[in-house]
Structure 1
Amino acid sequence: MAIFRSHDFRSRAFGIAFGVLATAFLTAGCAPLMAPPYAADYEALDRLEATRPGMVAVAKAQPVDPQDKVNTLGLRRAKLVSPSGSFAQYLEDALMRDLGEISAYDPKASTRIAARILVNDIDLGIVNGTGRMDVEVTVTRDATQRLSKTYRAQTAFDSSYANIVAVPAGQAAYPRLVRALLREVYADPQFVAAIGR
């Protein structure tokens, strides 16, 4: 009987602890959550490096207004924010970091990449979550336009009806969405030609 009571007590204690954590998480649902840091797709960068790109500068990504709808992401009751201040800046930083990894970044280069985010969305479904990002990329060299094209990336991830599962899953999915978008850009022969020597 004592064993049963001990087991019952532990079960109730676990249930209470889990309930307190879940309540704390949901209560803090209105508090902003930080998007995780971007991590490069090194296979995509290796392929881009093999094309022998020229030196490239990166213009200020748009839109810069942190209140613009593409710079504000809602994960149900929670708000996802960029550690860079805006998701446009997050994308710009990712571009600069990637080009730097293959020694192709030079802020004074005559070839310049400009990016404008058109769609930036993470949707937490009941079972499956999705992400979508559309970005207009323009490449100029000495004020002559060499490329103007819109790229789209979509990702999918496991979600849940429960916020305590779905919200962190959506948060973790964001850098993967940016990586998928940049993978599309780097693999495009038109982009490769535009930044080529």
Structure 2
Amino acid sequence: MAIFFRPQGVRLRAFTATLCASAAVVLASGCAQLAAPPYAADYEALDRLEAARPGMVALAKVQPTDPNDRINTLNLRRAKLLSPSGTFAQYLEDALMRDLGEISAYDPKAQTRIAARILVNELDLGVINGTGRMDVEVVVTRASAQRLRKTYRGELAFDSSYANIVAVPAGQAAYPRLVRALLRQVYADPQFIAAIAP
């Protein structure tokens, strides 16, 4: 089983502090556009998926690809959250590709193919608590035969605030954790594991 090293607490605190400082500068300047932080894998979930011995899988283009689709637009009060991948569909596709590559289960020529469509992609900055929700329909096919069609939901809660200078960077930092929560549900599902089995 692969061994992964996780960032230390000091690095995570420094990263969060950098996000807060960056968001403060952006909000103060009136340039209300922020980039979602890079995705970081849930290695415990990946270890469990790897232990299930999945087969090789390919990925279809995650939908919707239109950058103007509401799924690919996230507003954090007066700020706009942008995907560093161009769209949030591409952000999810990159996360899937990275995760499957980490456990040596990704092959773009594999007969088993995962297709995904984001149905809900939301961050809500409450005055005390913030929430996130992501619903994704996953379809697994092998040689054109459907093996799975299922909708998964990832949810999370995070500390927020009435003050934009606190709430906006909190929402920004929460996005990769939302994607991680969604993928954790997918990877742990016995039906998904069976669908991608060799």
TM-score by length of 2: 0.86
Alignment partners' CA distance in 2, 1:72 and 1:28 = 21
Letter in 2 for 1:144: A
* Cα deviation code 1:80-137 (max 9, x no counterpart): 0000000000000000000000000000000000010000000000000000000000
> CA contact under 8 A between 1:30 and 1:77: conserved in structure 2?
no
Hey, which of these two has a bigger chunk of helix by percent?
1
Once the 2 structures are TM-superposed, how far is the Cα of residue 22 of structure 1 from its aligned partner?
Answer: 9.4
Give the aligned partner of residue 5 of structure 2.
none
Taking the TM superposition and a 5 Å limit, the aligned residue runs for 1:6-155 are 25-155=26-156
Aligned-pair RMSD on alpha carbons? 1.5
* Cα deviation code 1:173-196 (max 9, x no counterpart): 000000000000000000000000
**Unmatched 5+ stretches in structure 2:** 1-21
Give the aligned partner of residue 182 of structure 1.
183
> CA contact under 8 A between 1:133 and 1:178: conserved in structure 2?
yes
Alignment partners' CA distance in 2, 1:154 and 1:180 = 6
Give the 3-state SS of the residue equivalent to 1:126 in structure 2: coil
Once the 2 structures are TM-superposed, how far is the Cα of residue 164 of structure 1 from its aligned partner?
Answer: 0.3
Once the 2 structures are TM-superposed, how far is the Cα of residue 32 of structure 1 from its aligned partner?
Answer: 1.2
Q: State the percentage of identical aligned residues.
A: 80
Larger radius of gyration: 1
TM-score by length of 1: 0.87
Give the aligned partner of residue 17 of structure 2.
none
Give the 3-state SS of the residue equivalent to 1:193 in structure 2: helix
Letter in 2 for 1:71: N
**Unmatched 5+ stretches in structure 1:** 1-20
> CA contact under 8 A between 2:147 and 2:195: conserved in structure 1?
yes
Give the 3-state SS of the residue equivalent to 1:79 in structure 2: strand
Alignment partners' CA distance in 2, 1:22 and 1:111 = 41
Count of matched residue pairs: 177
Measured at CA, do residues 46 and 24 of structure 1 come closer, stay the same or move farther in structure 2, by a change above 3 Å?
closer
Question: Structure 1 stretches (4+) deviating beyond 6 angstroms?
Answer: none
Taking the TM superposition and a 5 Å limit, the aligned residue runs for 1:157-176 are 157-176=158-177
Measured at CA, do residues 29 and 151 of structure 1 come closer, stay the same or move farther in structure 2, by a change above 3 Å?
farther
Letter in 2 for 1:137: V
Give the 3-state SS of the residue equivalent to 1:178 in structure 2: helix
